[in-house]
Copies of this chain bind each other. A is one copy, B any other.
Amino acid sequence: MIEKEQVEREAGDGHGDDARELARLQQRMASLDTPGVVDLLGRMSRDDRAVAFRLLPKDRAVEVFEDLDPALQGELISGLRADTTSELFRELDPDDRAPLLDELPAGVASRLLSGLSRTERDYTTALLGYPADSAGRRMSPEVAYVRTGTTAADALHRLRMIGDHVETIYTVPVLGPGRCVEGVVSLRRLMVSDPDTPVEDLMSEATTVRATDDRERAAQTVRDGGYVAVPVVDAENRLLGIFTVDDAMRVLEAEDDEDSARVGGAEPLRRPYLSVPIVRLVRARIVWLLVLIVAATLTVGVQSYFEAELDQVVALALFIPLLIGTGGNAGSQAATTVVRAMAVGDVRPKDLARVVGREITTGFLLGGALGIVGVLPAMAVAGRDVGLVLALTVVCVCTLATTVGAAIPMIAKRIGIDPAIVSAPFISTFVDTTGLILYFSIAKVVLGI
């Protein structure tokens, strides 16, 4: 058993020690049966009890909580809410924290969160075991629900009573035994129906989101279904809270901000543009510019390598900016299209082969069109041979650019990087280098230099 003083001292000592200490306590409890754990918790101080309880795996936590004396249940909740408890877990490395914290049981989580302000809730979520950016972090725990067996009239009466204290009364989860969500019924349906109808006959199948789901996915569910709100549940489909269309709109706006900034090669500002200090504008952009300028030094290397060819046919140099600009633009188009298609859920990483197939064809057709239309004038300026080199290179560069532009964001997503990060500027820079290599290689073959 850890004493409160010990917890505090160790918190001062370093987070690694905390983590080891907590893991030891977790192991010790794992060796006890449920009555043994209940007994152990009963002899602890309020804050220690909260810490120990939080280390139980979910199934065990449900049993222990139900066996606890109701007075101790209340004290446990207040212990979980205590700043010291929350802080202890917050200060652990996320890597240390993840194996310690299983999902909280639904009954405990909703009691823990309800009545807290949004800020207090944010502060408490370190305890919940829901990942950052998950629906569980964003949901409202103040949720109106009715139980199966209730009539429409009773349900309306209940909503009238609690209406001021819950997030919304327009979408109402219907719960069966053990807080399990069996369906949802809209307030509109309750109002227009015969008052004696049981809610089971009025409810429709519930579209729910898991508390551990990504908040963007939850928001898309709300948007695509046109819901006012969807219930948030745990792994056993027990009600934890509600995720409303307001939440969804705010999440989608934030995600769009992020995508938009990253597509442009900057970090999101997360604040209105005019209120951001200039230093922060610079910070949001400088890293990518540095990365890209370092990557661009490859183009210097490529040109040095082909210096002999350049010296022989100086006209080749004239078209370099045009060529790499076109490649960059074709790559940007493909990248933004695919990033957006993934953001709205039209394309998933497993569609990679299909997308690449489409983009190879698209790039080839675009390159062909540009080659014919744009390059004839070039022949007039620089002669037939250089014109031919240019036409061939445009076709190759466009095909390469659209393919790479579409594939890289998809591969990024698959390996867990935000696809928007590796978008337009990244791809332009990549295409600059490969485009130059193609250009000089084609020139060598066609011009025989």
Contacts of A261 in B (CB 8 A): 336-337, 340
Distance in Å from the Cβ of A90 to the closest Cβ of chain B? 29
Chain A residues with a Cβ under 8 A of chain B: 156, 159-160, 163-164, 168-170, 187-188, 191-192, 223, 226, 228, 245-246, 248-249, 252-253, 256-257, 259-261, 263-266, 269, 272-274, 278, 281-282, 285-286, 288-290, 292-294, 296-297, 299-300, 303-304, 307, 310-311, 314, 317-322, 324-326, 328-330, 332-333, 335-341, 344, 346-347, 351, 354-355, 358, 361-362, 365-366, 369-370, 373-374, 377-378, 381, 398, 424-425, 428-429, 432, 436
Most buried by B among A265, A292, A328: A328
**Contact (A191, B159) CB under 8 Å given A246-B226, A362-B282:** yes
B328 A264 Cβ-Cβ under 8 A: no
Contacts of A398 in B (CB 8 A): 289
Distance in Å from the Cβ of A120 to the closest Cβ of chain B? 20
A223 B253 Cβ-Cβ under 8 A: yes
Distance in Å from the Cβ of A409 to the closest Cβ of chain B? 11
| Residue in B223, B272, B321, B370 whose CB lies within 8 Å of A324 | B321
A366 B245 Cβ-Cβ under 8 A: no
Q: How far is A74 from B191 in the complex, measured between Cα atoms in Å? A: 32
Q: How far is A324 from B303 in the complex, measured between Cα atoms in Å? A: 15
Most buried by B among A245, A265, A344: A245
A274 B346 Cβ-Cβ under 8 A: yes
| Residue in B246, B294, B337 whose CB lies within 8 Å of A264 | B337
Distance in Å from the Cβ of A168 to the closest Cβ of chain B? 8
A273 B346 Cβ-Cβ under 8 A: yes
Q: How far is A357 from B324 in the complex, measured between Cα atoms in Å? A: 31
A358 B281 Cβ-Cβ under 8 A: yes
A264 B428 Cβ-Cβ under 8 A: no
Q: How far is A206 from B370 in the complex, measured between Cα atoms in Å? A: 54
A274 B381 Cβ-Cβ under 8 A: no
Distance in Å from the Cβ of A306 to the closest Cβ of chain B? 11
Q: Which residue of B lies closest to A338 (CB)?
A: B273
Q: Which residue of B lies closest to A187 (CB)?
A: B187
Q: How far is A366 from B351 in the complex, measured between Cα atoms in Å? A: 38
Contacts of A361 in B (CB 8 A): 278
**Contact (A297, B377) CB under 8 Å given A260-B263, A274-B346:** yes
Most buried by B among A223, A304, A317, A322: A322
| Residue in B285, B300, B314, B374 whose CB lies within 8 Å of A362 | B285
Q: How far is A324 from B425 in the complex, measured between Cα atoms in Å? A: 12
B278 A296 Cβ-Cβ under 8 A: no
Distance in Å from the Cβ of A188 to the closest Cβ of chain B? 5
Distance in Å from the Cβ of A368 to the closest Cβ of chain B? 10
